[in-house]
Chain A
Amino acid sequence: QQQVKQSPQSLIVQKGGISIINCAYENTAFDYFPWYQQFPGKGPALLIAIRPDVSEKKEGRFTISFNKSAKQFSLHIMDSQPGDSATYFCAATIADTGRRALTFGSGTRLQVQP
């Protein structure tokens, strides 16, 4: 059962453009939603995260938008740069239980063209 669905699979954006990646989740118990960035040969690294009590969180060029009623959240990368070219994963977890294991989406491969 795929509990977090991510789209698109791949994305090509021109330098300076906006990259948008979308995720939808099924488990309403999820209460923490991080985004990870992964470069080839590296493990995922936390980029930004949000809890469902807010609808938006911004850190630099990265913004998460969260829609609790629709069970959807998205990552917006403003002024996309070639260095942003990587695979991005959304994830979700139940933060207030002991386990806190992450459930990941299938990933979006972003290419930012110069």
Chain B
Amino acid sequence: DTGVSQDPRHKITKRGQNVTFRCDPISEHNRLYWYRQTLGQGPEFLTYFQNEAQLEKSRLLSDRFSAERPKGSFSTLEIQRTEQGDSAMYLCASSLEASGRSYNEQFFGPGTRLTVL
């Protein structure tokens, strides 16, 4: 399977616990995005990486959230001290940014569904 993969697919945790999600992008893709999707809504941008550099964080990303992409390949998203309001689908997307191309399709993974009890 050469698509974007995410692990785990489902996570149930108790309020106050820390959780970490992993995203493996399409292998040659140099850009990686994280989005959050709540029930009945479209995905909302959280942050993105160009190679290993995190270039922007949305104001939705509170200081309890941290994301890394240590070697410019897979990425992790950690949520500390989870709250019930963190319950959502966390989506990862990747794209290949190449000079001379005006827009490059983002390919989404299946998401990690987080439930905070």
Interface residue ranges, A against B (CB under 8 Å): 4, 6, 9, 32, 34, 36, 41-46, 49, 89, 91, 93, 95-96, 98-107
Contact = CB atoms under 8 A, between A and B. Distances in A.
- Identify which of B4, B43, B95 gathers the most chain A CB atoms within 10 Å of its CB: B43
A43 B91 contact: yes
Interface string B97-117: 000001111111111000000
Contact of A102 (B41, B45, B56, B109): B45
- Identify which of A36, A49, A104 gathers the most chain B CB atoms within 10 Å of its CB: A104
Given A98-B55, A101-B33, A107 B91 contact: no
Interface residues of B, number: 26
Given A99-B48, A101-B48, A107-B40, A43 B109 contact: yes
A84 B35 CA distance: 24
Given A43-B110, A96-B102, A106 B48 contact: no
A19 B48 CA distance: 34
Nearest to A98: B55
Given A42-B110, A43-B4, A43-B93, A106 B41 contact: yes
A91 B103 contact: no
24 contacts: A9-B40, A34-B105, A36-B108, A41-B110, A42-B110, A43-B4, A43-B91, A43-B93, A46-B107, A49-B103, A89-B42, A99-B48, A100-B95, A100-B104, A100-B106, A101-B56, A102-B45, A102-B106, A103-B45, A104-B42, A106-B41, A106-B42, A107-B41, A107-B42
